[in-house]
Amino acid sequence: MIKRIKILATGALLLAGLGACSPSGKKTGADSTVDTLRTTETVNLLNNLRKVPTQGIMFGHHDDPLYGVGWEGDEDRSDVKSVCGDYPAVMSFDLGHIELEREKSLDNVPFRKIRQETINQYKRGGVVSFSWHLDNPLTGKDAWDVSDTTVVASILPGGVHHAKFISWLDAVAAFMNTLETEEGTKIPVIFRPWHEHTGSWFWWGQNLCTADQYKALWRMTHDRMHARGVKNLLYAYSPGSEPKDSTAYLERYPGDDIIDLVGFDTYQFDRTQYMEQLDKSLAILTEVGKAHDKPIAITETGFEAIPDSVWWSQTLYPVISKYPISYVLVWRNARERVNHYYAPYPGQVSADDFVKFYREPLRPIRSPLFRHRNAPG
């Protein structure tokens, strides 16, 4: 079976009132038990993420409508859209610096703009995911400051910076509660904090805290969101290195009652190694997803500057097409750094192959569920 790549999943993906299943397997909806921790739209999103792999794979891009190669802030612009005519089905944004009550994110994007683009994506029927590269609460430096191994301990209950960190979580909760339509509908989004924890390049990483501390960090985050009335989040768990098996993948897993989607982050440096590791990791992730009844995704990937003209159809697609993935997301197209981009733009060497990846034979299914109203042909 040929897996179709869906660039923009429009309309019913988020909005349809489908019969949904909660993580416990209990039906939710008008004729069944109500999920008191999630809005109906959030339950629908989870249900539809489970269904996507039966029809294809959604494509995602970080910061897609905010800036790109050679531009920033243009209305209704996207490098992906400029290449293939559609916005990505999934867009991700980062909340770094919201904890500092700044007006702009760590990538110098106004949070009001991120909020508006989240609303725009919801209206298209697309999906939004949020990561959080927050500053180090102990040292005051950035998320990549790994100079101290006591940071996580310092923000857990009883820690010297616990109260400070709770205020940071409250800032996130306040932002999430502002994600709503003009009619007052809360917009469901995926929240992916504490990512790539299997590496040690962030202060919450493998060698910077114990497994129990990491799990406690997740539970504190999850519980605080609910305490602040946030009911429009799905939580994603995404390690940052290739696991050797499902046991290794789940070593710091915070629990089925917290996590809604499982994924991983991986990037290409050597093609053969990337394809082999991607294949192995997806096999493990598929096993985990089935065992824990979770949709699966490649939450970050890519090949910086995409110098391979057939990377999309000859490297990425042959591997991902074998597995029941809800989406695959590539990282951002930086406007401030030369050759730091992961999606094509007009004239880029892999742009034609990306259109092939999108259209033939990988063209999105032309159904009301997944078609963008402005899609070509």
Q: Is 301 helix (H, G, I), strand (E, B) or coil?
A: strand
Per-residue pLDDT of 339-376, as tens digits, reads: 999 999 999 999 999 999 998 544 333 222 333 332 22
**From residue 183, how far is each of 17, 32, 179, 228 by CA, in Å?**
17, 25, 11, 21
Provide the greatest CA pair distance for the chain. 59
pLDDT at residue 4, rounded to an integer: 64
pLDDT, greater one: 155 or 368: 155
| Residue % of the chain over a pLDDT of 90 | 83
Mean pLDDT of 106-119: 97
Please say if the pLDDT value at position 8 is more than 70: no
Report the alpha-carbon distance of residue 120 to residue 128 in Å, rounded: 10
In the structure, what pLDDT confidence band is assigned to residue 241 with cuts at 50, 70 and 90?
confident
pLDDT at residue 57, rounded to an integer: 94
User: Is 249:239 a contact under the CB 8 Å cutoff?
Assistant: yes
In the structure, what pLDDT confidence band is assigned to residue 3 with cuts at 50, 70 and 90?
low
In the structure, what pLDDT confidence band is assigned to residue 16 with cuts at 50, 70 and 90?
very low
User: Is 152:213 a contact under the CB 8 Å cutoff?
Assistant: yes
Residue 203: both structure tokens together: 């202060």
Please say if the pLDDT value at position 10 is more than 90: no
In the structure, what pLDDT confidence band is assigned to residue 14 with cuts at 50, 70 and 90?
very low
Mean pLDDT of 28-41: 66
What are the phi and psi torsion angles at 92 (to 5°)?
-120, 150
Residues recorded for the chain = 377
Q: Is 103 helix (H, G, I), strand (E, B) or coil?
A: coil
Mean pLDDT of the chain: 89
pLDDT at residue 359, rounded to an integer: 80
If 0-12 CB within 10 Å is exposed, 13-18 middle and 19+ buried, where does residue 162 land?
middle
Chain mean position to CA 170: 21
pLDDT at residue 36, rounded to an integer: 81
Per-residue pLDDT of 166-198, as tens digits, reads: 999 999 999 999 999 999 999 999 999 999 999
Residue 121: both structure tokens together: 């994506």
Mean pLDDT of 220-231: 98
User: Is 111:105 a contact under the CB 8 Å cutoff?
Assistant: yes
- Residue 243's nearest CA partner among 263, 268, 218 is 263
In the structure, what pLDDT confidence band is assigned to residue 35 with cuts at 50, 70 and 90?
confident
Report the alpha-carbon distance of residue 288 to residue 285 in Å, rounded: 5
In the structure, what pLDDT confidence band is assigned to residue 299 with cuts at 50, 70 and 90?
very high
pLDDT at residue 127, rounded to an integer: 98
Q: What is the DSSP letter of 73?
A: S
pLDDT at residue 144, rounded to an integer: 98
CATH class for the region spanning 5-358? alpha beta
In the structure, what pLDDT confidence band is assigned to residue 11 with cuts at 50, 70 and 90?
very low
Mean pLDDT of 7-25: 37
Q: Spell out where the chain has E strands.
A: 5-6, 20-21, 27-28, 57-62, 67-68, 71-72, 90-94, 127-131, 189-192, 233-237, 261-265, 296-301, 325-330
Mean pLDDT of 316-337: 96
User: Is 52:29 a contact under the CB 8 Å cutoff?
Assistant: no
In the structure, what pLDDT confidence band is assigned to residue 307 with cuts at 50, 70 and 90?
very high
Per-residue pLDDT of 277-294, as tens digits, reads: 999 999 999 999 999 999
Secondary element (H or E) of residue 248: helix 246-249
- Residue 14's nearest CA partner among 38, 48, 39, 61 is 48
What are the phi and psi torsion angles at 291 (to 5°)?
-65, -30
pLDDT, greater one: 13 or 74: 74
pLDDT at residue 20, rounded to an integer: 27
